[in-house]
């Protein structure tokens, strides 16, 4: 009898252990459908505000000026990827130079931006660190950074950086200077457990408070970001767009245009293939009227485009955009309807 009790206890333990290993994404939470709610996100006509939105909280949980930071360092164990602030059109290039005292320029260099998909393969800087028998160390290459544009659209200029590891703390250290070597300074970037990234500024070091909340506090981000657009002849060119990015560690989404917003049900949502792709919602929920190269354009929302979103708690929502202008006719105020399924 005692042996049977032990067997039963062991079986129960193993069931609990295995169930704890299932991905969070596998949980399905049935809830009574909510009411259709309407939200207006204030980004301002210059699109200067970044806002983090939570469906469960029914509003913005954090916001910041998009120019408050320059780069973000991954906080994932063993990962030291540096991400650009593409909301201000930043780009980077490997220089092939390893002496930080050498002047560098953008001539003959290919400046890249981080892909808006969020894929690590699309990171502009790439892997700059080495982990071998001697431990963690930077590869020593100098990286040229185009700091993008300010809120007036003026160029912020270039700097050069050389990431490495602080010999005392073991944290990432960023050496920064003008391209000719002037105004040199260094910042040690402390990574925080529980965060996706730690953001920092070339002017002040680590941003306080951090612009991005911890992952389990938000679902989608309203922001500008850099992506590829195409001319009428099919030629690609980088462009700063205004749109929505996912919390791509916990949130999934899909676009559906086959049924009306009213017809989208929980059962229908569960038949769709959702994606963690960061820009799956993106910018083209609004039609562009005019020529983007001239800047003489207006926007029209596409209410027939439905976005099915599974939030960080596994709850389904449907969302559609109905405007991009406020009641005074000013752009930069995305307006959307959302309903919990």
What local confidence, expressed as pLDDT, does residue 33 receive? 86
Q: What is the DSSP string of 256-270?
A: E-SS-GGG--HHHHT
- Extract the tokens encoding 318: 């449907």
- Extract the tokens encoding 118: 């969020």
Q: Give the residue-averaged pLDDT of 262-273.
A: 97
SS3 for 135? strand
| 268 close to 259: Cβ distance less than 8 angstroms | yes
Percent of the chain past pLDDT 90, that is, above it, reads 81
Q: Residue 4: is its pLDDT beyond 50?
A: no
pLDDT band at 107, cuts 50/70/90? very high
Q: What are phi and psi of 322, to 5 degrees?
A: -120, -10
Nearest to 70 by CA among 192, 205, 185: 205
Q: What are phi and psi of 3, to 5 degrees?
A: -65, -40
- Between 70-79, 175-184, 224-233, the lowest mean confidence (pLDDT) is in 224-233
Sign of the alpha-carbon dihedral angle for 230, 231, 234, 235: negative
Nearest-angstrom CA–CA distance, 89 and 151: 11
Cα 248 versus chain centre, distance: 8
Range 110-124 burial, b when 16+ CB lie within 10 A, else e: eebbbbbbbeeeebb
Nearest to 219 by CA among 80, 105, 59: 59
* Digit-coded pLDDT (tens) for 131-162: 988 889 999 999 999 999 998 889 999 999 99
* Digit-coded pLDDT (tens) for 29-82: 566 788 999 999 999 999 999 999 999 999 999 999 999 999 999 999 999 999
Nearest to 95 by CA among 83, 81, 109: 109
pTM for the whole thing? 0.89
What local confidence, expressed as pLDDT, does residue 3 receive? 39
What local confidence, expressed as pLDDT, does residue 30 receive? 64
Measured at the alpha carbon of residue 93, what is the angle toward residues 190 and 294, in degrees to the nearest 5?
110
What local confidence, expressed as pLDDT, does residue 235 receive? 86
Residue 104, class by beta-carbon neighbours within 10 Å (0-12 exposed, 13-18 middle, 19+ buried)?
Answer: buried
Name the helix (H) or strand (E) containing 3: helix 2-20
Range 257-294 burial, b when 16+ CB lie within 10 A, else e: eeeebeebebebbeebebebbbbbbbbebbeeeeeeee
Q: What's the length of the chain? A: 341
Nearest to 336 by CA among 49, 41, 45, 51: 41
Nearest-angstrom CA–CA distance, 163 and 176: 9
The three state secondary structure string of 24-83 is: HHHCCCCCCCCCCEEEECCCCCCCCEEEEEECCCCEEEEEEEHHHCCEEEECCCCCCCEE
Side by side, the strands of the sheet bearing 59-65 are 59-65, 49-54, 220-230, 236-246
Q: What are phi and psi of 20, to 5 degrees?
A: -70, -15
Q: Give the residue-averaged pLDDT of 198-227.
A: 96
Cα 319 versus chain centre, distance: 19
What local confidence, expressed as pLDDT, does residue 135 receive? 86
């Amino acid at each position: 009898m005692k042996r049977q009790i032990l067997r039963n206890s062991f079986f129960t333990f193993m069931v609990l252990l295995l169930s704890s290993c299932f991905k969070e994404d596998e949980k399905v939470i049935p809830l009574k459908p909510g009411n259709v709610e309407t939200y207006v996100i204030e980004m301002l006509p210059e699109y200067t505000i970044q806002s983090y939105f939570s469906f469960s909280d029914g509003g913005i949980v954090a916001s910041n000026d998009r120019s408050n930071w320059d780069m973000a360092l991954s906080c994932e164990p063993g990962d030291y990827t540096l991400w650009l602030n593409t909301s201000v059109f930043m780009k980077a290039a490997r220089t092939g130079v390893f002496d930080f005292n050498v002047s560098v320029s953008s001539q003959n260099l290919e400046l890249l931006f981080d892909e808006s998909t969020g894929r690590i393969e699309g990171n502009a800087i790439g892997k700059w660190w080495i982990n071998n028998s001697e431990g963690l160390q930077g590869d020593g290459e100098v990286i040229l950074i185009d700091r993008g544009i300010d809120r007036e659209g003026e160029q912020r200029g270039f700097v050069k950086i050389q990431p490495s590891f602080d010999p005392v703390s073991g944290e990432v250290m960023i050496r920064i200077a003008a391209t000719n070597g002037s105004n040199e300074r260094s910042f040690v970037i402390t990574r925080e457990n529980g965060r996706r990234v730690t953001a920092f500024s070339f002017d002040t070091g680590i941003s306080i408070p951090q612009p991005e909340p911890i992952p389990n506090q938000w679902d989608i981000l309203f922001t500008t970001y850099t992506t590829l657009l195409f001319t009428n002849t099919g030629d690609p060119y980088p462009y700063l767009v205004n749109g929505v990015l996912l919390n791509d560690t916990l949130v999934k989404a899909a676009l559906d245009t086959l049924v009306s917003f009213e017809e989208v049900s929980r059962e229908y949502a569960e038949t769709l293939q959702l994606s963690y792709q960061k820009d799956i919602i993106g910018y083209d929920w609004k039609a562009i009227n005019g020529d983007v190269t001239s800047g003489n354009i207006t926007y029209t929302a596409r209410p027939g485009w439905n976005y099915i979103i599974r939030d960080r708690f596994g709850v389904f929502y449907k969302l559609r955009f109905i405007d991009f202008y406020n009641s005074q006719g000013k752009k930069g105020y995305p307006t959307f309807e959302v309903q919990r399924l």
